[in-house]
Amino acid sequence: MISETIRYEEKSAVARGIPPGSLWSLTFTDGSRREETDTSWSEISRLERVEYFGMKKSVMVCRFPVKHILVTHDGMKAEIDVPEGASVYQAMRSNLMVDGDKNRGQIVGRCLGLVKDGKVTEELFLNGVTHEVLGMKS
């Protein structure tokens, strides 16, 4: 099973900087599953530079074949069925302003998307500021 080949993470998701209630869950093509509670995305992904709706973007693409991804964040939920030949990515999105009192990055949401043939074909963004799920699809 794919899930059994992946190392289990010792630190909790919160200790890794993930806010409570924010979580990804993967179902691999063989039906096995892993979640963020015991898995680091760095452990299962690689950095790729891809086409992104007319621009370039760096994404951390999962190295394993995925059938389905579910991401929850701040009471919102987004999921994607991954078509054959496509790869999946996700990332936290943070923001920092030049501001004396708050000079620390704040998490503003979480994105997930699909890459096929070096191009992003779909991206969803769980916006923690406006509390809505936004998306783009080609």
Partner 1 sequence: MSNVAPDITFRDATNPASVVSLLQYVQSTLGSDFLPILQGEQSSVVKFRIYNNYAGNVNIASAFNVNITVYDGSGAGSRTALKSPVFQSWLRVYETGFGENSTPPGLYTAWAGSDTAIGSGPAGLNLYYPEVGSDGLLSNQVRAGSGYSQVGFIELASYLQLPPSVASASWNFSLSVSYEWVE
Binding site for partner 1 (CB under 8 A): 9, 11, 13, 15-18, 40-43, 45, 47, 49, 55-58, 60, 90-103, 105, 107-108, 111, 129-130
Of the two residues 15 and 84, which places its CB atom closer to partner 1 in the complex?
A: 15
Q: Which is nearer to partner 1, 60 or 133 (CB)?
A: 60
How many other CB atoms are found less than 10 A from the CB of residue 112? 23
Minimum CB distance to partner 1, residue 34 (Å): 13
Which amino acid does the sequence have at 47?
L
> What is the smallest separation between the CB atom of 84 and partner 1, expressed in angstroms?
24
- The token duo for 111 is 């994105």
Between the CA of residue 103 and those of 19, 96, 100, 107, what are the distances in Å?
Answer: 18, 7, 6, 13
